[in-house]
Structures are given as structure tokens and as C-alpha cells.
Amino acid sequence: MTPTMDKSLERLRERAAAEGLLDVAYATADSPFGTLLLARTPQGLVRLALPNEDVDATLADLAGRISPRVLEAPGRLEEERRELDAYFAGRRRSFDLPIDWQLSHGFLLRARQGIAAIPYGETRTYADLARTAGNERAVRAAGSACSRNPIPLVVPCHRVIRSDGALGLYAGGVEMKERLLELERGA
Amino acid sequence: MAELPPFQTLIDEHAAEVMAVLRGAVGREGAEDAFQETFLAALRAYPSLREARNLRGWLVTIAHRKAIDHHRARGRAPLPVEAVREEAVFDPDPTDGTEIWRAVAALPPKQRAAVTLRFASDLPHEEIAAALGCSPAAARRSLHEGLKRLRKEMA
């Protein structure tokens, strides 16, 4: 893309945002685990795709579920990228980002809000999570609140483990979960 | 409802072409504004679009409406071709078609639009007609007249 075209597109993104036409802004971000995809609405961070997720499929899904006005706009995600960088560097223990919860409903929403409240460096079990979300028998559903969490890392589902102490699964791979917990233990 | 791809796909695939079409239709000066207007109008209308086929044709059609708006706003004043000609030619390649596009820019609006749509955007007569808001026969006529005039100019 030529510099002139870059400038034109930058102007377009700014004008689209000013006119309320930028429903979903996205950007990529580097991480120690690979490239992340971040997406936000005017309300806040709505989706974070881990390195093993397909970018095109994720964007197509957002176009279908939120709005097809999906634009690449890194300038709108600077704070998100900054906080994630600091987190991976061990310099940040909690995120101070507005969250758009619109992709979660009912029990899953309550469970994910429960996950968001687990402090840095601590863990909870799937059973704890089910109880927090108001249905202690819904342990499997608590599992899917984690496995299909639209905003991993910021909604730290890696802090939810099995009652027997095993790590359980992680959308980004068990090794990533292990390394994240190590990072938070200061190892 | 149609499964619409993320709007960014339309930008990635068609922005350069839309810009080229607009440069042909309104000149380099007006192209930037017309480009912004085109994509903002497309963004506004996009979620209610019923049909995800031929998004390129849809964008080019909007671009042409914006080009026509541009000329209307200027009261159909002829483009200052002489002024353009006095500027330095940045591209030294004599085969880049600059001359022909200058001649195209000097055509009356309908002929210019028809020629640009046909050759820069490769649109069929039906779509040119849709973009210009006229019948396919009238589009064909504008194209024919435009080409005749170009041949004379370039001879």
C-alpha cells in the first residue's frame, strides 16, 4: 500500500469513528506466545483471539454477530496493546480496560464476570466458578465459560483449574496456560 | 440476511481501484475527497446491504455517484486541463497512459464517466448505465461518443 493510500485510509478511519460508523475496530498485537488479535466496539474490548485462532474466521464471526462494519484501526486499540505488553513483561497485575460483554449471556456472562474477578497469581476451580456464577452443579458449563471465553488473558480463564489440581484445558494450549500461571507466580 | 464480509476486506481488495477510478473521473485533486465520501457512504449503507455478491461493482457504482456529485457541485465546470498540464510529469514513463487520461479528464462528464467505468473499472454496459442513472443504450452512446472524441484528440 502506498503512503498516500495509507494517509487516505487513516483519514477514513478517523472520520468513520467520528461518525459512529466504526462498530468493530481491530488490531494485531505481538505477544510471547505469538500474534494476538484484539477487537473492540465503542463500549470496550469485545474479543481477543489467541495465536492459534484463525484471524479471518474470527473477523467473519464478529461481522456476523456484532456488525459487518469491521475495520482495522490500530489507533483505537493502543491502550489495550500497552496493557497487554506490560502484563507479559510482568509489570502489570490487572487490566484497566473497558470490556464489552455483549458476546456473553446468562450463566456464561456471570461465570466470565466471576473469572474477571480472580486476582492475579491466584487460581480457582471450575466448581468454584460454577458456584460464583450461581449454579454449583453447572461445572461443565463453567468449563465452557472458560474454553469459549471471547476475551482470554484480560478475562483470565487461565486462572481456572481442575479441582484435583490438574491444569485442565486451555484454548491457547495447556503449555500457554502453564506459562501464564508461572509468569503470575513470578517464576 | 446476507453474510457480509468484514468491511476491511472491501478496503483491502478494492480501495486502490476505487482511488484509480476516481482519479480518472474527477482528477487527482478531487479524488481524495471523493474517495472519503465513497467509503463513508459505503460504510453507512453496508449493514443493510441485502446482497454480498459483486461488492466491487457496488463500490464502483458509489464512487461514480460521488464523482458525478463532485462535478455537479462544480457546476459542471470543465476541468482545468491546462493547469494540470503545466505541472511536472512525475512519471517519466511515456507509456503510462498519462496523455490519454488527460484527454479523458477533458471529456464532458457523462462521456468521461462512461469511458472510465468501461476501461478503468471494466464494468459492463448495464452496470455503467446503473452507475450513471441512464439506460444501457444511453451508456453505450456516451461511451461511443467519448471514444470517438478521444480518437480525434489522440490522433
**SS3 state of residue A103:** coil
What does the pLDDT look like over B22-51, one tens digit per residue? 998 898 889 999 999 999 999 999 999 988
CATH of the domain at A175: 1.10.10.10
A76 and A115 together in one domain? no
Q: Is residue A96 part of a domain?
A: no
C-alpha cell belonging to residue B127: 452496470
* pLDDT greater than 70 at residue B2: no
- Ordered by where they begin, the domains of chain B are 7-154 (1.20.140)
Which residues are CB-neighbours of A89 under 8 A, at least 6 positions away? Answer: none
Interface test with A, best of B8, B9, B14, B33 (most A CBs within 10 A): B8
- The predicted pLDDT at position B51 comes to 84
pLDDT of residue A49 exceeding 80? yes
Give the pLDDT confidence score for residue B90 in this predicted structure.
42
- With contacts defined as CB-CB under 8 Å, which chain B residues touch A21? 40, 43-44
Q: Residue B6 has what DSSP assignment? A: P
Both A61 and A125 in a single domain?
A: no
Q: How much is the average pLDDT of A27-42?
A: 98
Residue A63, domain extent = 3-88
Calpha distance B5→A143 (Å, rounded): 31
How far is CA B85 from each of CA B34, B89, B103, rounded to the nearest angstrom?
22, 8, 11
Residue that terminates a domain, selected from A57, A88, A119: A88
Give the residue with greater pLDDT, B77 vs B95. Answer: B77
* Closest chain B residue by Cα to residue A27: B8
Residue contact B40–A69, C-beta within 8 A = no
User: A14 burial class (0-12, 13-18, 19+ CB within 10 angstroms)?
Assistant: middle
How would DSSP label each residue in B51-112? Answer: --TTHHHHHHHHHHHHHHHHHHHTTTPPP-HHHHHHS--S---TTS-HHHHHHHHTS-HHHH
**CATH code of the domain containing A79:** 3.30.160
Cell of A67: 456488525
- Residues B11 and A86: their CA atoms lie apart, in Å, by 32
Which pLDDT value is given to residue B83? 42
What are the C-alpha distances in Å from A82 to residues A31, A88, A117, B83? 11, 10, 21, 49
State the pLDDT confidence band at B76, using cuts at 50, 70 and 90: low
State the average pLDDT for chain A.
Answer: 96
Cα–Cα distance measured from residue A21 to residue B42, given in angstroms and rounded to the nearest whole number = 10
Residue A42, classed as helix, strand or coil, is coil
Angle at B63 between CA B83 and CA B117, to 5 degrees: 80
Closest CA to A127 of A139, A145, A111: A139
Interface with B, mutate which of A8, A10, A37 (most B CBs under 10 A): A8
Residues A135, A78 share a domain: no
A64-95 pLDDT per residue, tens: 999 999 999 999 999 999 999 999 999 999 99
Closest CA to B154 of B84, B88, B82, B106: B106
Report how far residue B101's alpha carbon sits from residue B24's, in angstroms, rounded to the nearest whole number.
7
- Model ipTM value: 0.92
> Looking at the complex, does the CB of residue B32 fall below 8 Å from at least one CB of chain A?
yes
Residue A101 lies in a domain: no
A57 and A119 in a common domain: no
* CA separation for the pair B98, B46 (Å, rounded): 34
Residue A93 lies in a domain: no
Gap between the Cα atoms of B59 and A157, Å rounded? 42
Q: What's the gap in Å between the CA of A179 and the closest CA on chain B? A: 33
Any domain includes A100: no
pLDDT more than 70, % of chain A: 99
Of B15, B35, B46, the CB nearest to A68: B46
pLDDT in tens, A160-183: 999 998 998 999 999 999 999 999
Q: Sign of dihedral through CA atoms A71, A74, A76, A77? A: positive
Retrieve residue A21's grid coordinates.
Answer: 460508523
- Considering the domain architecture, whether residues A7 and A75 belong to the same structural domain is answered as yes
Q: Tell me what pLDDT residue B89 has.
A: 39
A75, A142: one domain: no
CB within 8 A of A92, min separation 6: which ones?
Answer: A83, A86
If one counts the domains in chain A, the total is 2
Q: Is A94 contained in some domain?
A: no
Domain end call among A53, A88, A123: A88
Distance CA B8, CA B49 (A): 15
| Confidence band of B84 (pLDDT split at 50, 70, 90) | very low
To the nearest whole angstrom, how far is the Cα of A55 from the nearest Cα of chain B? 12
A64 contact B CB<8A: yes
Q: In this complex, is the C-beta atom of A17 within 8 Å of any C-beta atom belonging to chain B?
A: no
What whole-number percentage of chain B has pLDDT above 70? 77
Does any CB of chain A come closer than 8 Å to the CB of residue B84? no
Domain for residue A99, yes or no? no
